[in-house]
Structure 1
Amino acid sequence: MAKKNEYSAGAKLRILRELESGEGTRMEVARKHNISVQTLVTWRHRYERYGMNGLEIQARNRRYSADLKMKAVEDYLSGQYSQYELIDKYQIASRTQLKNWIDKYNRHSSYKSVDEGANAMTKGRSTTWQERIEIVLYCTANQRDYGKTAAQFKVSYNQVYQWVKKHEEGGEDALQDGRGRKKAPEEL
């Protein structure tokens, strides 16, 4: 398969014209130019919708608000629209982008607007046993939003995740730090 953005807008248009003139089937034209059939379909759809601008190579990724992402996913899940209709309605770059949002929704993850930016990784810090219990209870009370909990208590995402996991498996006692103590003979 061709590398991403290997073809200029003019080359894409020539390939589409070749397909439209009947010089071959989708599969034949795709093989001839070392691209997938889905790529041909995408190019055709973008050309029909946006003209030559739809075939241009994007210099940077498009930005979408969290609200737009949520509306697009809800519309898709309602069953009233196809993926292509939603791509047109919300001017989404691709079906893959929409699919990623749907997958994220189904995993119960939260959407971030690109303008909000990604949270920087927070370095873990030392905590007391009582603090860890409080953090776990807060996280479970907030639908396991590990990121929000980590930001609230200024600990790392990974720490919160591990503490919740330990709490589920062994209760509050599992949150105690057992490093540096000698094991009793029956524990060996």
Structure 2
Amino acid sequence: MGALKCEQIHFVLIINRQRKLRLSKWYSPYSQKERTKVIGEISGLVLRRGPEMCSFLEWGALTVVYKSYGNLLYIMCIDPDDNELEALELIDHYVRNLDRQCGIACEWMLTFYFAWAYQVLDELVIAGQIQETSIKTVVGLVRAQDHLEWAAREETHSISSKILGTDTIDILDL
């Protein structure tokens, strides 16, 4: 895959067909009130569009790019000078990374494994700029983070067992 060159990604949203937000990542400053308004406006615009329509549209001074996978809409807002096809490719790349991590990028996965969805997105995009395009690298980085987290939990569990004794209930497991 060639290097993607979107200059600025302002936000990423994932919503279902009932307008329920499943993931949001903001790279430009928006207040909570503005975010709520943006989510409502964007989801309404995108959900009203038919499947035969183009996957990008002008929204104020920005461009909205979206793609549907099953019951979910993956939405990205970019600068109007950026290449919309590259943004579509990034959305597809993100979904393929989620598939590689969790088996399938579906609403259920986003509900229960949202931390992985954010981790994958954070490996792909940092501060609104594309950082990594290799699926293999992203999967390796996310798995390494998971391993470090698991090792830290094991170490905490081991320390608490030594402090509390082996016959006591581990308060960290409650």
Q: Which has the higher contact order (CA 8 A, sep 6+)?
A: 2
Structure (1 or 2) with the greater helix fraction: 1
**Structure holding more strand per residue:** 2
Higher Rg: 1
TM over 0.5: no
TM-score of the aligned structures, taking structure 1 as reference length: 0.28
TM-score relative to the length of structure 2:
0.30
